Amino acid sequence: MSNRNRNLLLFNKFIFKELIPNLAYTAKWLVLALIIGSLVGSASALFLTSLYWVTQYRETHLWIILFLPIGGFFIGWIYHRFGTSVVKGNNQLLEEYYNPLKIIPLKMAPLVLLGTLLTHLFGGSAGREGTAIQMGGAIADQFTKWFNLKSDDRKMVITVGVAAGFASVFGTPLAGAVFALEWLIIGRLRYESILPSFLAAIIANYACEGIWLVHHTEYLIPTVPVFDIINVLWVIPAGICFGLAARLFSKSTHFWSYYFNKKIKYPPFRPVVGGVIIAASVFLIGDTKYIGLGIPTIVDSFSQDLPWYDFLMKIAKTSLTLGSGFKGGEVTPLFYTGATLGNALSAIIPLPVALLAGMGFVSVFSGATNTPLACTLMGIELFGAEPGVFIGLACVLAYLFSGHSGIYNSQLIGSPKNRKFLRRKGKKIGQL
C-alpha cells in the first residue's frame, strides 16, 4: 500500500472513528445542557428572588421568628406526608449516582424550595446550596425517562443538574462544574463528565444572571501580600484551623440529626423542638446575625473586627437548624463560619484580614464537602487570581485536616486522604 493510500485510510479512520463520534457527543450534551441549564438556572433565579424577599420580610417583621416552631412542624409534616421518598436530599442524589434504582421524583424540587423558604422566613439558620443542588438534580433526572437514557448517561445527567444548580445559585460556573465532578467520589474525577458539566454550569449561570438579572454578592480582597516562605508558613496553621472548623461543622450537624431521630420518633415534632430552641436563643441574644444566610456578617468579616466566637455561634445555630429537620443548604453557613474564623485568626496571624476571611470562606467549605479543587476555583472566581495561591494552599490543607468527614454522609471515598487509611477506600463517610 502506498503512503498516499495509507494516509488516506488513517484520515478516514480518524473521521469516522473519532471526529464524528466526538461531534455527536458534543452535540448531544450541548442540547441537553442547554435545556437543563436553562431550566435549572431559571429555577435558581426564582429561588434566589424568593429567598431575598423572605429574608427582607423576616428582618423587618422580627415577630415572625416566634412562629419558627410552627413553621418547623409544617415543614416536618409536609415531608412526612408527601416527601418520604425525597427526604434524604443531597445524599439521595449521591446514592442514585452510585447505585441507580429509580428516577428521582420531581417533587423533590418544589418540596425543598418550599421547605427552605419557610426555614428562612421564620428564622432558621441555613444556606441555599442544598436547595439548588436538589432542584438541579431532580429536574435533570427527569430527562433520563424522557430521553430513555442509559445508566452511564443518567450519571452524567445527575452531574449536569448538580453543576447547573451550584453554578447558578452562587454565580461561579467554573467552581460549579468542578464541584459536580469532585463531590461524587472523594479523590476521583470522571473526565467524560467535564464537558456536559461545564456546558450546563455556564448556561445555568447565564440564565440566572444574564436573563433573569439575579445578581450575587461581591467580595473584595484589596491587599494581597507577597507569596514568600514566611507567608506560606502562616497559611499552614490557618488552613489547619479551617479544616478543624469544617470537621466540627459536619460532626455537629450529624450529631443533632442522630439525636433528634433517636429521641423524637414522630418526624414533624423534631423541628418544633429545634425551632423553640433557636427562636428563644434569638430573643435572648437580641440579634439576628446568626440566623438566615448571614451575608451581611460575611461581608463585614472582610473589613471589620468581629467577635471571635461568631463562627462557633453560626455552627451551633446551623447544625441545630438542619439537624432538627429544617430544610436548606450548608454551604453559605460554611462561608460564614470560614470568613468569621479567618477574621478572628487575623488577631494572631499577620496576614491581611480580608485575605484570611477569603481563605476561610472557601477553605471551610472545602473541608466540609471534600472538594478542594472546586473551592480553589470558587475563590479565584469570587476574589480574583491574585490571592489564588494562598486560597489554593488553604483549601488543600482544610481538605486534609477535616479528615474523612463531611456534610454528606453518603459521599464515597475513592482515594483516602492519607495512605495510612487505605482500608477506608470504597466506604461512605457515614460508615466510618
CA angle 276, 280, 281 (to 5 degrees): 120
pLDDT digits over 299-310, tens only? 999 999 999 999
Does domain 229-431 fall into CATH 1.10.3080.10?
A: yes
Q: Coil, strand or helix: which one is 428? A: strand
Q: Do domains 31-211 and 229-431 have the same CATH topology?
A: yes
Q: Indicate the residue type of 57.
A: Y
Tell me the pairing of strands 412-413 and 185-186. Answer: parallel
pLDDT digits over 241-287, tens only? 999 999 999 999 999 999 999 999 999 999 999 999 999 999 999 99
Q: Are 195 and 140 in contact (CB under 8 A)?
A: no
Query: Which H helix or E strand runs over 413?
Result: strand 412-413
Q: Looking up cell 471589620, which residue turns up?
A: 304
Query: Can you tell me the distance from the alpha carbon of 274 to that of 264, in angstroms, rounded to the nearest whole number?
Result: 11
Residue spans of the domains in the chain: they are 31-211, 229-431
pLDDT digits over 204-254, tens only? 999 999 999 999 999 999 999 999 999 999 999 999 999 999 999 999 999
User: Hey, what's the torsion of the CAs at 271, 277, 278, 283, to 10 degrees?
Assistant: 140
Q: What homologous superfamily is domain 31-211 in, according to CATH?
A: Clc chloride channel (1.10.3080.10)
Query: Can you tell me the distance from the alpha carbon of 56 to that of 400, in angstroms, rounded to the nearest whole number?
Result: 38
pLDDT digits over 94-146, tens only? 999 998 888 999 999 999 999 999 999 999 999 998 999 999 999 999 999 99
C-alpha distance from residue 333 to each of 95, 123, 172, 253 (Å): 24, 14, 17, 12
